[in-house]
C-alpha cells in the first residue's frame, strides 16, 4: 500500500512543485532505479507492456523509473520535461479485469510520451478507455489486483486522477494534496468521464447528479483485502488508506507556504505515532497506518520498497531517490533532469539476493537494522543525516547558480554530485553493514515477526547473522 503527496507553488517555499511517494510492495519484490533514454521508433511498431502490447509512438522521452523488477511499468517516475507521476491501489464497485494495462504501465507510457501533466492525464485516460486496466499487480501473490489513482505533476501544476475500471474523474490540485489506498474525490472535480454519472445512476450507485459523490458512490460497502478485502468509505481496516492520507495531509499542512523537499522526505519517513513513543518504536509494532511502511506479517504484508521526492522547477528538476526500502533508514540521493540524468549504471536486482545489486545490497542492511531498530539506527543515523545535508547544500548551490539553461560545466557538476552521492552511499551502507553485523541484539523483536522475516530471507537465499 502506498502514499503519494504533492505541494504546488502556492504551498512551497520557493514556489516550485514538490512531489513525493513511498512505493509499498511485498518483501523480496526488488524495486529498481532505471534511467531510460528516449528514442525514435519505427512506424507501426508495438511496445510490450506487462501483459499486453499497444502501438508505440514515433518518439519517446528520457525517463527515470522507480519500478518493481518484473513489470514493464513503474510505481513512480519522471521524464525530461518535468512530468512526474505516482499511483495508488484503489478498489471500487466496478469489477477488476483479468488482463489489460496495469496502472503502472499507463504511468510509464504517459511519461515516455508527454510534455505536461495535463497531457499525461489525457494519455492515461485514453489508454484506460482503449485497453482497460487489469492483471495481477504484485510479485508472487495471486489475487492482488486493483484499480488505480494517480498524482500527476509538472513544474506548473498537479492533478489527482482516480479510476474505477474504465471510469475516471480528476481534480486540479490547489495548495497541497495527498492520496493513499482509497478513492478521495467527491462532488467537486474538474474533469470527468462523460458517462460516469449517468452510468452510476443506472447502476444504483447514486440517485441523481445532484447527489453524486464519487468516493462515497464507488467505494464498496464491504470488500475484503486480498482473500479478505475490506474497503468501506472512510474505514479500511486492513489497508488504512484514509488513516495514512489524514496523516500525510496533516504533516504537510504544518508547513504550508514554506514546504521544502526535506519536509516531504520527513513526511515519507513518518510512522504516524505519538512523539513520546518515537524513541521506543520497534518495527515489529509497525501499523498499516504508517506512511513509512514496514512489513510485519499477514496483517501488514507490505514495506516501503522505494521512495521518491521530486523538486520540480522549470529549468531543473531534482529527483531525490532512496533505491531501497524503509525511508526512515535510507539515504535520499539526488538525480538531475532533464540532463544529465543518471549516467552511473546500477546493477539491477531481481527475485534472488545478490550482494552486488543496488537494491539487495541496501535491503540486507535494512533487514539487519530491523532486528534491533532503535539501537542500530542510532549507530548511523547522524552520519546519514549529515550526508543528506551535504548533498542538499551541493544541490542548493547549483539551483541558486543556474537560473536558465544549464551550461556544459553545470551539467558536469550535476553529474558529479549524483555520482558522488551514490558512490558515498554505497560505501557507507557497506561500512554500516559490517559494523552492525558485529553487534549483539539487545532488544529482540517478537517471535511472529522474526518467523515472518526468516521465511522471507530463506526464499531469496539471504543469510543474516542473529536473524
Residues with catalytic annotation?
Answer: 2
Query: β-strand 191-192 against 3-7: which pairing, if any?
Result: unpaired
> Nine-digit cell at 223?
470488500
8 Å CB contact between 45 and 92:
no
What is the rounded distance in angstroms from the CA atom of residue 181 to the CA atom of residue 90? 5
232-241 residues labelled b (16+ CB within 10 A) or e (exposed): ebeebebbbb
Long-range contacts of 224-232 (CB under 8 A, 24+ apart): 226/141, 226/143, 226/144, 226/301, 227/143, 229/91, 231/91, 231/181, 231/182
> Nine-digit cell at 154?
509538472
User: Residue ranges of the alpha helices (H) in 135-240?
Assistant: 196-202, 214-218
Q: What share of the chain is helix, strand, coil (3-state, %, to 5)?
A: 35, 20, 45
> Nine-digit cell at 258?
514554506
Residue 134 CB neighbours (<10 A): 21
> Nine-digit cell at 68?
518493481
What is the rounded distance in angstroms from the CA atom of residue 96 to the CA atom of residue 105? 16
> For residue 394, what are the CA distances in angstroms to 145, 186, 387?
42, 42, 11
What is the rounded distance in angstroms from the CA atom of residue 413 to the CA atom of residue 409? 6
Q: Assign 242 to helix, strand or coil.
A: helix
> Nine-digit cell at 43?
512506424
8 Å CB contact between 35 and 341:
yes
What is the rounded distance in angstroms from the CA atom of residue 382 to the CA atom of residue 286? 23
User: Residue ranges of the alpha helices (H) in 330-407?
Assistant: 358-370, 373-401
Amino acid at each position: 500500500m502506498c502514499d503519494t503527496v504533492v505541494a504546488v507553488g502556492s504551498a512551497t517555499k520557493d514556489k516550485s512543485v514538490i512531489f513525493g511517494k513511498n512505493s509499498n510492495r511485498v518483501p523480496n519484490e526488488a524495486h529498481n532505479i532505471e534511467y531510460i533514454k528516449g528514442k525514435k521508433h519505427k512506424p507501426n511498431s508495438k511496445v510490450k507492456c506487462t501483459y499486453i502490447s499497444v502501438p508505440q509512438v514515433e518518439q519517446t522521452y528520457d525517463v527515470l523509473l522507480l519500478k518493481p523488477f518484473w513489470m514493464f511499468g513503474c510505481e513512480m517516475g519522471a521524464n525530461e520535461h518535468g512530468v512526474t507521476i505516482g499511483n495508488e491501489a484503489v478498489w471500487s464497485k466496478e469489477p477488476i479485469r483479468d488482463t489489460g494495462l496495469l496502472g503502472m504501465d499507463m504511468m510509464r507510457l504517459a511519461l515516455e510520451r508527454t510534455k505536461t501533466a495535463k497531457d499525461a492525464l489525457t494519455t492515461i485516460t485514453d489508454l484506460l478507455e482503449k485497453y482497460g486496466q487489469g492483471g495481477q499487480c504484485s510479485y508472487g501473490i495471486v489475487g492482488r489486483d486493483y484499480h488505480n489513482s494517480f498524482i500527476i505533476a509538472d513544474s506548473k501544476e498537479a492533478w489527482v486522477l482516480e479510476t474505477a475500471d474504465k471510469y475516471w474523474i480528476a481534480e486540479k490540485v490547489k495548495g497541497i494534496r495527498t492520496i493513499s489506498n482509497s478513492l478521495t474525490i467527491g462532488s467537486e472535480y474538474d474533469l470527468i468521464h462523460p458517462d460516469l454519472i449517468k452510468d452510476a445512476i443506472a447502476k444504483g450507485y447514486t440517485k441523481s447528479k445532484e447527489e453524486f459523490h464519487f468516493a462515497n458512490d464507488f467505494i464498496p460497502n464491504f470488500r475484503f483485502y486480498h482473500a479478505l478485502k475490506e474497503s468501506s468509505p472512510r474505514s479500511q481496516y486492513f489497508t488504512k488508506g484514509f488513516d495514512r492520507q489524514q496523516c500525510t495531509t496533516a504533516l504537510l499542512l504544518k508547513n504550508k507556504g514554506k514546504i521544502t523537499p526535506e519536509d516531504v522526505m520527513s513526511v515519507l519517513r513518518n510512522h504516524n505515532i505519538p512523539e513520546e513513543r518515537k524513541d521506543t518504536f520497534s518495527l515489529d509494532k509497525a501499523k498499516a497506518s504508517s506512511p513509512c511502511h514496514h512489513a510485519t506479517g499477514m496483517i501488514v504484508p507490505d514495506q516501503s520498497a522505494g521512495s521518491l521526492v521530486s523538486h520540480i522547477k522549470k529549468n531543473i528538476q531534482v529527483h531525490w531517490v532512496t533505491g531501497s526500502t524503509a525511508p526512515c533508514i535510507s539515504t535520499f540521493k539526488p538525480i538531475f533532469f532533464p540532463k544529465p540524468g543518471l549516467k552511473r549504471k546500477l546493477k539491477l536486482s531481481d527475485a534472488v539476493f545478490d550482494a552486488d545489486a543496488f537494491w539487495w545490497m541496501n535491503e540486507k542492511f535494512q533487514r539487519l537494522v530491523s532486528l534491533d531498530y532503535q539501537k542500530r539506527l542510532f549507530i548511523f543515523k547522524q552520519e546519514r543525516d549529515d550526508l543528506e545535508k551535504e548533498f542538499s547544500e551541493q544541490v542548493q548551490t547549483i539551483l541558486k547558480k543556474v537560473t536558465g539553461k544549464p551550461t556544459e560545466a553545470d551539467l558536469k557538476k550535476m553529474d558529479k554530485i549524483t555520482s558522488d552521492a551514490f558512490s558515498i552511499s554505497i560505501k557507507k551502507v557497506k561500512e554500516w553493514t559490517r559494523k552492525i553485523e558485529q553487534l549483539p541484539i539487545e532488544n529482540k523483536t517478537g517471535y511472529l515477526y522474526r518467523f515472518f522475516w526468516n521465511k522471507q530471507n530463506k526464499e531469496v537465499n539471504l543469510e543474516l547473522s542473529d536473524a
